[in-house]
Chain A
Amino acid sequence: MKTVFIDCSPKKRLSASGFIAGFTAAFVAGKKKKEKLRTKADYGRVLEAVKDADSVVFSMPLYVDGVPSHVLPFLREMELYCKESNPALNVYVIANNGFIEGRQNEPLMQVMENFCARSGISWRGGLGIGGGVMMNVMRIMLTVFFGLAILNTILAVVREGSFQAGPLLGFGKQALEVLFFGCGIVAFDLWLAFCINRQKPFGKRYTRVMLPSFVFILFADIFFVIASFFQGGMFRGWLAKKKPAD
């Protein structure tokens, strides 16, 4: 069994789509290939990888209620290939969006389902994840915290000549907190991986970061205030009704 995971985010590094694709892949058995689909230059390579696959997992961000524009011409190329060669392909989709409601991925899921219908390949369902940016921030922070905990543990050994459990225990607590907010994502994703392993339908499911939306909105606002402060947008007519040049 071969499964191809396609990270459809245009970001070079640290995309939420790439993370969740990798996380899912960790629980899928058999031959696995992870591909990035960022520009037209990737189309040929990704299509080659799809050709001898049993299942394809598209992992993508939601852009303006739909599939990001750079992915669409690839879908058309894949459709043409599928019509010509009739491969027995299972298609799964993982979509993540910035807003908290995972359900906002529904139009994207339908577009992907329609793509499968036109291509004559098997739509096996999709998982829509709300709060994708926050999920991504949490997993990046968790990696940083882990690094710090290891560093502090080593420093303690060097300085005091004894092992201290404090930093690692602290990290354990942080990991549990992240797991709490991410429990829906982890649970649904494991279920998806289970279905991919058996090449079974998953259906269309939606989950989110486990926070009430008003708290999430507060965090999102703080996030963009900080980003806009450091990148300077806040001082360049941040919320102004900017006029076009002509």
Chain B
Amino acid sequence: MRILIHDRNEEFGQALKEKYDRIIRADGKYAPCQGCFHCWTKHPAACGMKDSLHEICRVIGQADDLVIVTENWYGGYSPAVKNILDRSIGTSTPMSTYRAGEMHHTLRYGRHSSWSVLVYGETAENEKKTWKLLAEKNAINDGFRSSEVSFIPDTEELEARAQ
């Protein structure tokens, strides 16, 4: 399955509809994670907050290839995108294991394939360095085999690059 998470407008997703099995628009109309871990310990793979992200981990968990289109915020994701990632830890289970020589959680949906990030907005050199590390670490943490980051200064090009 190929899944896109993006923080652009509705039309952006519409234009890419054919290319993805699922498109998640990070519109920011949802609550941030409260850190309760109930998506592991109480009602597995579901959040206690019943907004549009209520069961989002069940969707993201199905991804083989995940593409994320995000504005650059200090070398990391925009708040709307990061909010979705924070609310998705149900893609893992509470049990722990080793991955890449570090402690991580076991994967509810098994291994995934590629984690690609398309970063737009002005991005400084130090931020690019952070991005590379962050995507690499995200891929390990969430059980993706590879990670890739591309910087797209011109938002006009985003649609073509996200094909």
Contacts and interface: CB of A to CB of B under 8 A. Distances in A.
Interface string A229-242: 00111001111111
A144 to B, nearest CB: 21
A243 interface: yes
Contacts of B41: 224, 227-228, 231, 233
Interface in A203-246: 213, 216-217, 220-221, 224, 227-228, 231-233, 236-245
A75 interface: yes
A244 B58 contact: yes
Nearest to B38: A231
Q: For this complex, into which size category does the number of interface residues on chain A fall?
A: 35 or more
B108 A241 contact: yes
Contacts of B44: 233, 236-240, 242
Nearest to B89: A64
Interface stretch (A86-94, A105-113, A178-186): A105-113
Binding site of B, secondary structure by majority: helix, strand, loop or mixed?
A: mixed
Contacts of B40: 224, 228, 233
Contacts of B96: 99, 217, 220-221
Contacts of A111: 73-76, 130, 134
Contacts of A66: 76-77, 82, 134
B52 interface: no
A105 B103 CA distance: 13
Contact of B108 (A39, A70, A75, A239): A239
A117 to B, nearest CB: 6
Interface in B119-150: 124, 126-127, 129-130, 133-134, 137-138, 141
